[in-house]
Amino acid sequence: MIASAPTSALPLPGDLSPEEEIRRMVRVNHAGEYGAKRIYEGQLAFLRSNSPLRAKIEHMAEQEREHLEAFEAELVQRRIRPTALFPLWHVAGFALGAATALMGDKAAMACTIAVEEVIDQHYAEQSERLGQAEAPLKQKIDQFRAEELEHRDTAVAEGGREAVAFPVLEAAIKTGSRLAIWLAQRV
């Protein structure tokens, strides 16, 4: 279950039950990993064939597929419906990956930096909220968070912060990522 405040605190109107918080966590994480998979598919489809980043992006994409499979299993095991926004994630993720790859290797890495920094914060908040009853889910989230941070570090090392108009690109992608998280929790 979710780690909660002292038992003397009464729930407020609109507070989620611990079960609903878990449903939202699993739903949004599944949606996010699907979006990440689609971003990398878009990048790989449009990245130059001789790009030195191709093998690194393929490795990151494989890890995202593993994360997606883990959250798909959680959805099934817990009988949680996935987000209704999958058609949007399918198109938007691929389009974001394709657009940044067409802008060049550094822009593709800028995309990874922006997304992974939002996901780092998102997974850290979830990990902090999970209690001992959800230790296996917490462990999974912590492991995936560490891998997402490796992706960010790779993107930084590959010059992602040197992309043309990096601050604008980063702000736009982070805003879109935060909006996607908010929507996937609810829809």
- State the DSSP string of 69-107: HHHHHHHHHHT-PPPTTHHHHHHHHHHHHHHHHHH-HHH
pLDDT at residue 49, rounded to an integer: 87
Yes or no: say if 81 and 27 are a contact pair by the CB < 8 Å rule: yes
**Residues within the annotated binding site for Fe cation?**
33, 64, 67, 116, 148, 151
Q: Which amino acid is at 174?
A: K
Rg (CA), the chain: 17
Domain ranges (residues) in the chain: 18-186
pLDDT digits (tens, 9 = 90+) for 140-187: 999 999 999 999 999 999 999 999 999 999 999 999 999 999 999 888
Region 18-186: CATH code: 1.20.1260
Residue ranges of the chain whose pLDDT lies below 50: 5-6
Query: Which pLDDT value is given to residue 78?
Result: 95
Report the distance separating Cα 158 and Cα 120, nearest Å. Answer: 19
Binding site listing: 33, 64, 67, 116, 148, 151
Task: Supply the pLDDT for residue 99.
Answer: 97
Q: Given this model, what pLDDT does residue 1 score?
A: 54
Q: How far apart are CA 187 and CA 169, in angstroms?
A: 26
Mean pLDDT of the chain: 92
